[in-house]
Structure 1
Amino acid sequence: MTNSADTVADPGVDPVDPVTVLRLLREGLAAAEATIIRFQALRDAQLGAAQRVAEEIAARDAGAGAVRGESVDLATRSVAAELAGVLHMSDRVVQARMARAADLETRFPEVTRAFGEARINAAHVRVIQDAGARLDETVRAEFEQIAVDACAGETPHRAKRIVERVAERLAPRSLTERHREVQEQRRVWREDLGDGQKALGVIHSAAIVDGIYDRLTQQARAVSVANAQAAKDDASLKSESLGDPGDARTMDQLRADLCADTLLTGTASGHDTSAGLLSAIQARVEVTVSVLTLLTPDTAGAGRKKSPAGSGTSTGSGTAFGVRTEQPAELAGGQPIDTHTARTLAGGATAWERVLTHPVTGAILAVDHYRPNADLRRLLHARDSRCRFPTCGLPPAAQDLDHTIDAAHGGPTEEGNLGGLCRRHHILKHQTAWKVTQRGAGILEWTSPTGATYIDRPPSPVTFTVEDPDPPPEPDPETPGF
């Protein structure tokens, strides 16, 4: 028997084998997804063309005496309204998409090409376009190339961290400068939700908001644990315990109540005792920061001085060899924070964990701390700053440390046999046919039930590398000894 390709079918393959069916579904879905992405790219190209048509109409009207700015806006509205009926969208949404599509074609030609070839999808395009919006023409081509390579074969969520880091390195203004401006917009607001409820919102520094949420979470967890313990204790002891056996509040409800307690009374109660246990809980904010960021003088707002010709450095600008030495610190999970906040947090730290990285790849090599028995966990926490299953991006707080080769089967408890996995993928690894193999340097190779392989590399932390401005000469191949 032959198939449509005129080849003999393998008689040993069961056509109803679920693994075979899954493999065919995977290949078919990959082909369908690539086709969809190409059509999405085609749609964006047409929206970009519609924007140019609107500009041509505006130019014609301007020749008749109309004001150029008003003419462009009116023409764009008219064209967007024409297309809105076809797309079944609001004309405002269509107008915004037209502008974005035209901007993509004009300023990001390499991204447009990769999109049309289905090497990246629409979500990748949004990540790159948003991150690159503040870059000027002199560095945009370099940014595009790196960003497209980072997104190819990776999820948008996981690629976003790398793309934003590259954009930050090439940005004309540092994160610290921009942060100072946007901090002027910090505020608290309330919003009516109906049914007797309102929402309270706050905009503040990322480190502060993370600290607030972490402290509330620790307090809520303390109450939840105490409630569970109180339910097990003898009735005579319940009056002296922190918990309430009848308290059935969820973690979200506890966080909300404790937040209200703190804001209204200055102290979180949540069934607290006279010892003030919940009030004593301090927030935990984890920051990864380059040592050069801590050492670089804060020159935001200062005039830039040109270095002597040929010196290779720029004094007063926080740069060396054309690269900004003041790189943003990052909260656990990858969100960048300004230098001032990072230095403040670092200055108040009672202990330091030194994360040693490779100067080129940024791979975690070692972690130093005063308590050796916790070194391994600290090293893995630093190396695996997200779940190590392909496509997952959950932060370290949600991870379990998994033995690649089970300890029960002789697997050692060491860096080369451990990886951080979220609970969902930890269970998936142990309870399904998914397999994982350590390939060294923290690289994990995952194999799916159908035999497909996926390589997951540990995300590199904040790093700073420079090239030697005066490299040694190439050795003469004819010189003895070479």
Structure 2
Amino acid sequence: MTNSAGAVVDPGVDPVDPVTVLRMLREGVAAAEGAIIRFQALRDAQLAAAQRVAEEIAARDAGSASVRGESVDLAARSVAAELAGVLRMSDRVVQARMARAADLMTKFPEVMRAFGEARINAAHVRVIQDAGARLDETVRAEFEGIAVEACAGETPHRAKRIVERVAERLAPRSLTDRHRDAQELRRVWREDLGDGQKALGVIHSAAVIDGIYDRLTQQARAITLANAQAKKDEAGGAAPDPDGLGDPGDERTMDQLRADLCADTLLTGAASGHDTTAGLLRAIQARVEVTVPVLTLVAGDATEGAGTAGTTVDGCGSPAGSRPSFRVRTAQPAELAGGQPIDTHTARTLAGRVTAWERVLTHPITGAILAVDHYRPNTDLRRLLHARDSRCRFPTCGLPPHTQDLDHTIDAAHGGPTEEGNLGGLCRRHHVLKHQTAWTVKQHGAGILEWTSPTGASYTDQPPTPVTFTIEDPDPPPETDPETLGF
């Protein structure tokens, strides 16, 4: 997302015009935000210096320049206590911030520089620092450059998906390896909430949790629709169906229905307390939507045929210490709808169980969505747009696909065609904003949308890159037919 708004007010415009006032407010907020970010960067630099002072104090007291551990911790506690009164916060919080700021200054100097220049904000810094924590120093500088570029001019929520994907490519251990370890920690727990309530928590793989939630949602929606039909029938004097799902007196919300169905399923093994004798709800199966790079499906498991004795293999299937071309793993992690990465083993398992495929063709250089197989109106058009617009296409919005309406950029009532080049996924909030306010949008091909605000500011929104990798080509090839691009 880029802003091309000018900062100069047209001298011929009435100064009390609301649009003029809004333009001045926008520029004033931008200037204030830039100043705040620079002061936040300055504060972090001072906290990092405080951490170094604590290390110097510990070294002086111990008579050694390499002292670490408990001595440094005690000195840091003392320094943090000194600053806590000024910052009006707990000294424990101050100590943690000192350590984090020192880590940022030492390991991520380019990020700190961009922070000080207000090209990125504190939330961007957290995203980059958290994602880069597992990277070693040999690839950290490369990661910084890409991550800062991804965050500049973009919201932290949107940039997080790109930054984490870059970190995954450069990580010393693959997501599949880390997922295998994390799965050892899967568990169920309960927590007291008071008022006779308790919370039940589950930690499991992302695909399993998404599948559980989706199945409960489908079941709850089936009951909601049946209840609505039962109310309609009752109002018309029709006798209720004793074997049907519908209950005209059922006023439960979707959240309440999901909770009741989950409890019934766990307690009885099936949602029998809310189902019919024909098992209508049990017939509803979970849908887990996954985007999988083709190389992930064809690449072998790194744990199989790991090589000769004494040779270790990393998550790329390559000998430890080596790195594939472009420093990109052959088997990239797949992504659930909405962008959360999942391990390659789960992706292959889910892919192996489906009976049909939706192939999405992307440009080998830019990664832009070009087409999908069996392109038909309605179903396949929605699939293409779902693949291209994996979030709301309004600048700064990151709501996932299931919240979207398909919006005609040029209204159908005004002759706008129902085709990929005239459609975009918008959440309901921003769909209404487009039609009911002075915000306008144009399409520039390849899914690129240019939004113009009521004050004339221009914001360009690029479609999110699918789970793939792109390479820089100083001399890109000319436009060709998608079928000739080698997919």
Q: Determine if the TM-score, normalized by the shorter chain, exceeds 0.5.
A: yes
- Can you list the C-alpha shifts for 1:381-424, whole angstroms capped at 9, x where unaligned? 10000000000001111101000001010000000000000011
What CA distance in whole angstroms lies between the structure 2 residues aligned with 1:419 and 1:327? Answer: 27
Partner of residue 5, structure 2:
none
Counterpart of 2:340 (choices 299, 311, 335) is 335
Gaps in structure 2 of 5+ consecutive residues: 1-7, 309-315, 477-487
Change (3 A) 1:15 1:72: same
Asked whether the 8 Å contact 1:319–1:326 carries over to 2, the reply is no
Q: Which AA in structure 1 matches 2:302?
A: T
Shift of 1:333: 0.6
What residue identity is the alignment partner of 2:379? A
Q: Counterpart in 2 of 1:397?
A: 402
Q: What is the CA-CA distance between 1:271 and the residue it aligns to?
A: 3.6
Report the equivalent of 1:288: 291
Give me the whole-angstrom Cα distance separating, in 1, the residues matched to 2:330 and 2:9: 62
**What is the match of residue 480 of structure 1?**
none
Shift of residue 300 of structure 1? 4.0
TM-score where L is the length of structure 2: 0.89
SS of 2:69 mapped into structure 1: helix
**Residue equivalent to 1:30:** 30
**1:297 alignment partner in structure 2:** 300
Is the 2:59–2:65 contact (alpha carbons within 8 Å) kept by the matching residues of 1? Answer: no
Going from structure 1 to structure 2, the CA distance change for 1:60 and 1:30 (only over 3 Å counts) comes to same
Would you say 1:413 and 2:435 are equivalent positions? no
- CA distance in 2: counterparts of 1:295 and 1:237, whole angstroms: 57
Q: 1:458 aligns with which of 458, 463, 467?
A: 463
Q: Distance in 2 between matches of 1:269 and 1:228?
A: 21
Higher relative CO (Cα under 8 Å, sequence separation at least 6) belongs to 2
Residues 419, 68 of structure 1: alpha-carbon distance in 2 compared, 3 angstrom cutoff:
closer
CA deviations on 1:46-83 (whole Å, 9 max, x unpaired) are: 11111001111111122289974211111111111111
Instruction: Note the alpha carbon deviations across 1:215-266, whole angstroms, 9 max, x for none.
Output: 1111111111111111110354324331111111111111111100100011
Pairs within 5 Å for 1:42-121: 42-63=42-63, 68-121=68-121
Instruction: Verify the 8 A CA contact 1:183 1:204 in the aligned structure 2.
Output: yes
Aligned AA (1:409): H
Distance 1:117 1:300, change over 3 A: farther
TM-score, normalised by the number of residues in structure 1: 0.90
Percent of pairs with identical residues: 83
- Partner-residue secondary structure (3-state), 2:240: helix
Preserved contact between residue 392 and residue 427 of structure 2 (Cα < 8 Å): yes
Distance 1:316 1:112 in 2: 34
Structure 2 counterpart of 1:309: none
Secondary structure at 1:366 match in 2? strand
By how many angstroms is 1:370 displaced?
8.7
The answer to whether the aligner puts 1:355 opposite 2:357 as a matched pair is no
More displaced stretch, 107-116 vs 368-377: 368-377
Question: What secondary structure is seen at the aligned counterpart in 2 of 1:324?
Answer: coil
Q: Secondary structure at the match of 2:366?
A: coil
Report the Cα distance in structure 1 between the residues aligned to 2:140 and 2:469, rounded to whole angstroms.
20
Match of 2:239 among 230, 237, 240: 237
Matches within 5 A, 1:60-209: 60-63=60-63, 68-209=68-209
Deviation at 1:464, TM superposition (A): 3.4
Do the aligned residues in 2 keep the contact of 1:244 with 1:271 (CA within 8 Å)?
no
What CA distance in whole angstroms lies between the structure 2 residues aligned with 1:163 and 1:60?
A: 40
* Distance (whole Å) between structure 2 residues aligned to residue 376 and residue 196 of structure 1: 49
The CA deviation at 1:326 is 0.9
- TM-superposed CA distance for 1:323, in Å, is 2.6
- In structure 1, what is the Cα distance between the partners aligned to 2:65 and 2:145? 43
Query: In structure 1, the residue corresponding to 2:459 is in which secondary structure?
Result: strand
- CA offset digits 1:94-119 (Å, max 9, x no partner): 11110000000000000000000000
Give the drift of 1:32: 0.3
One-letter amino acid of the counterpart of residue 83, structure 1: L
Q: Distance in 2 between matches of 1:8 and 1:407?
A: 36
